Amino acid sequence: MNKDTIPSRFITFSLLLFRFPFLFPLVETRKRVILTAKKKRREREFLTEERDKMEEAIRGSCNRNKNNKSFFVSKGKKEDSYHVLYKVPYGDSPYVRAKHAQLVEKDPEAAIALFWKAINAGDKVDSALKDMAVVMKQLDRSEEAIEAICSFRGLCSKQSQESLDNVLIDLYKKCGKIDEQIELLKRKLKLIYQGEAFNGKLTKTARSHGKKFQVSIKQETSRLLGNLGWAYMQKKNYMMAEVVYGKAQMIEPDCNKACNLGLCLIRQARYEEAQLIIEDIIKGELPGSNDSKSRKRAQELLVELRSLLPPPYPLDLLVMDDEFIRGLEQLMNEWGPVRSKRLPIFEEISSFRDQLAC
């Protein structure tokens, strides 16, 4: 290429923009498109590099153990490792692309748009609606998430309604919708004592931070009662919160709920009862008492409680000293014999009667 042609092209392009200024927006749009394409290309290169590193590690493992068939990794296994690493499902559906945008590209706005597309297409509506609400909550769009769940939960299966309720409880809590939270918690507790929770089973499989674990009806009831007690505390209905926390402690004692129960009693000026509960936490007599945060909170409650208690009366004001009593009696004896309490006229009559008797 001739070097002289480059400046001439640049000058020609500049003159063209000068004469036709309406072309500026088109140029800016083209710049943005180019920058976006470069960004996506860098992301693809990064993902490709990470995948190549993983494949290199797998090949190295295979080479070191080439005589061992158990170390053979097929192409399918490599793909499995990639999906396990990023926790991305298989396929190219709208839901899969949404999870890729959420977990790999870290683009929540794009993920929400793709989750909407999945819901409208009927692609894993249960998971798409719940995951979209979680992403919206992370972006402080909780009101929008509540509206989405309430509007589209009718498209979801019966088995997914319970998990949607749990997401709604967190959303109500974040938005300060205490009345709605109380109503939903009461409805879930009613399903439990009617035997309709967990689809009639005694346990269910829950997931937290990518790990599965079993939850019993007893644990779920205690958890819901704890949330209900907290909601009543936000309404400053400490009497009802005390009742609910008391029931929760009877089902499954817990250090955190015990602290809240003690606080409810403090707010009702029932200091002695609160002190007994808080001291049990500090003594380590409740599950979770070894947790440093729980112990610190219990100690703070005890300090607050002691500041509210009336000062004790000195014992020497309530108990009379025996030596002091004996000193008073001795002083009274020194003042003279004990006089008769009758009037003088009756004393004279008595002496006159004695003379007549003689």
More confident: 15 or 48? 48
Q: For 127-155, what is the mean pLDDT? A: 94
In this prediction, residues 151-169 reach a mean pLDDT of 92
State residue 193's pLDDT score. 85
| pLDDT, position 48 | 66
The reported pLDDT for the residue numbered 171 is 96
Residue pLDDT, tens place only, 60-70? 544 544 444 44
Look up tokens 């870290």; give the residue. Answer: 106
Tell me, what's the pLDDT at 166? 92
Residues 167-176 pLDDT 10s: 999 999 999 9
Q: pLDDT per residue over 25-59, tens digit each?
A: 555 665 665 666 666 677 667 666 656 665 565 45
What is residue 69's predicted lDDT score, i.e. its pLDDT? 44
pLDDT of 160 above 50: yes
Report the pLDDT value the prediction gives residue 92, as an integer from 0 to 100: 78
Whole-number Cα distances in Å, 72 to 61, 67, 256: 9, 9, 50
pLDDT at residue 31 in the model:
60
Provide the pLDDT confidence category of residue 116 given band limits of 50, 70 and 90.
Answer: very high
**pLDDT above 90: percentage of residues in the chain:** 41
Q: Is the pLDDT of residue 269 over 90?
A: yes
290-348: pLDDT as tens digits: 888 888 999 999 999 999 887 765 555 445 556 666 766 776 777 665 555 554 544 55
Q: Average pLDDT, whole number, for the chain?
A: 77
- Distance in angstroms (rounded) separating the CA atoms of residues 2 and 348: 155
Q: Distance from first CA to last CA of the chain, Å, rounded? A: 165
Secondary-structure breakdown of the chain: helix, strand, coil percentages, each rounded to the nearest 5:
75, 5, 20
Confidence of residue 78 (pLDDT cuts 50, 70, 90): very low
Q: In this structure, are residues 254 and 286 in contact, taking their beta carbons and an 8 Å threshold?
A: yes
Q: How many CA atoms lie within 13 A of 153 on its CB side?
A: 19
Percent share of the chain, pLDDT over 70: 62
Q: When comparing pLDDT for 323 and 128, which is higher?
A: 128
Residue 83 has a pLDDT of 47
Q: How confident is the model at residue 270 (pLDDT cuts 50, 70, 90)?
A: very high
Beta strand 211-216 pairing with 203-208: antiparallel
What pTM was computed for the model? 0.62
The Cα 14–Cα 314 span in angstroms is 96
What pLDDT score does 101 carry? 87
State the pLDDT at residue 323.
Answer: 67
Q: Residues 159-164: what's their mean pLDDT?
A: 89
